[in-house]
């Protein structure tokens, strides 16, 4: 008997407790530097397309001395709360309980725990003891799209129970802001924290169809992080918007052609925004203003992997999917991730 295709049953999202506006961030940066920011740098940091974000801890925490164990403690406590909040919302929307879930795919690159966070949630949230937990680490901003594709494949292989995808990042605690060099200031002005949970299975909702990724050689310096003494040191190229047009666009065109699709015939795309200039490049390529992508960047900043799922939640809230929908994200590798949802 042929099983039914995986469908996106519900999306739930959660944010940490501390909102911060971009105006506050620029004021904090100037205070930490002890002088006004250079006009060009202030313009760059102020033109990210972000108005406000949420972060795990109060602003003063980020400029105090922090050890790796302290960061791990904050990650464990805050991530556990956000995991439960987003998952509870998604399960309720889908009309399910934790015990109904057969597998949990967990995406996070800004922290790690052993046992993994979903393993720790088994008893806490009432998942069945035989629930399979699959942590995915290292995909960064591309993790939301890649994780959705992995979760759909796992459901196709074992369709007896729905699959839960949880994408969670605490970017704010990952980077060391004590040095306040240009890369640290970019990280502080761009990245944020958030969690998204998606229930995948049989029922109502768009079909989670084809997914693909493409890694370009000699691009390790485009995006990622290196291990520092007290945190992660950001690796982020200025050339990502140009890369969208020169490299990502042809790969995405080939992916869509393989699915028998054309950009002009599709619904609004759900894209990981990255930053304002990246959204502009994606909008030019796709031929759409990407209003919901811009709205999530404006209201929540770049939360890394869950950001695209926040965008997807906003698009789905407007009504049922009636046309194929493209999902995109760019991440460390340098990797381009692409997916298609169908009515």
Residue 31, by phi and psi: left (phi above 0), alpha (psi -120 to 50) or beta? Answer: alpha
End-to-end, the C-alpha distance of the chain in Å comes to 23
Q: Which residues pair with residue 170 across a beta bridge? A: 193
- CA dist., res. 203 & res. 28, Å (int): 48
From the list 133, 141, 171, 252, the catalytic residue is 141
Pinpoint the alpha helices (H) of the chain: 22-33, 39-46, 68-94, 117-125, 143-157, 171-174, 182-190, 240-243, 249-258, 276-286, 291-300, 307-317
Q: Residue 38 class from Cβ within 10 Å (0-12 exposed, 13-18 middle, 19+ buried)?
A: exposed
- CA dist., res. 289 & res. 309, Å (int): 18
Q: Which residues pair with residue 231 across a beta bridge? A: none
Active site residue 252: no
- CA dist., res. 313 & res. 205, Å (int): 12
Distance of CA 295 to the CA centre of its chain: 15
Host H or E run for residue 326: strand 325-331
The 3-state DSSP class for residue 262 equals coil
- CA dist., res. 186 & res. 175, Å (int): 11
Catalytic residues: 141
């Amino acid at each position: 008997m042929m099983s039914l295709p995986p469908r996106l049953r519900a999306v739930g999202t959660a944010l940490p407790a501390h909102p911060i506006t971009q105006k506050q961030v620029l004021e904090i940066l100037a205070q930490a530097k002890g002088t006004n920011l250079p006009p060009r740098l202030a313009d760059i940091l102020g033109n990210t397309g972000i108005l406000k974000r949420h972060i795990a801890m109060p602003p003063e925490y980020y400029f105090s001395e922090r050890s790796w164990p302290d960061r791990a403690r904050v990650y464990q406590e805050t991530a556990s709360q956000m995991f439960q909040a987003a998952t509870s919302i998604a399960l309720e929307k889908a009309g399910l309980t934790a015990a109904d879930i057969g597998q949990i795919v967990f995406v996070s690159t800004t922290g790690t725990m052993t046992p993994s966070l979903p393993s720790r949630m088994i008893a806490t949230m009432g998942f069945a003891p035989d629930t399979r937990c699959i942590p995915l680490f290292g995909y960064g901003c591309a993790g939301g799209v890649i994780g959705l594709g992995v979760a759909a494949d796992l459901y196709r292989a074992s369709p007896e129970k729905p699959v839960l995808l949880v994408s969670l990042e605490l970017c704010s605690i990952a980077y060391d802001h004590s040095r306040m060099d240009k890369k640290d200031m970019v990280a502080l002005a761009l990245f944020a924290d958030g969690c998204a949970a998606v229930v995948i299975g049989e029922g109502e909702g768009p079909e989670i169809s084809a997914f693909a990724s493409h890694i370009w050689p000699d691009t390790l310096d485009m995006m990622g992080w290196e291990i520092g003494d007290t945190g992660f040191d950001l690796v982020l190229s200025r050339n990502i918007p140009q890369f969208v047009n020169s490299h990502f666009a042809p790969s995405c065109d080939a992916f869509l052609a393989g699915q028998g699709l054309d950009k002009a015939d599709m619904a609004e795309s759900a894209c990981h925004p990255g930053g304002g200039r990246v959204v502009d490049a994606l909008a030019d390529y796709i031929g759409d203003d990407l209003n919901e992508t811009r709205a999530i960047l404006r209201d929540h900043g770049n939360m890394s992997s869950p950001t695209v799922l926040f965008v997807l939640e906003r698009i789905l809230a407007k009504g049922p999917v009636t046309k194929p929908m493209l999902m995109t994200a760019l991440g460390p590798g340098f990797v381009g991730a692409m997916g298609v949802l169908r009515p």
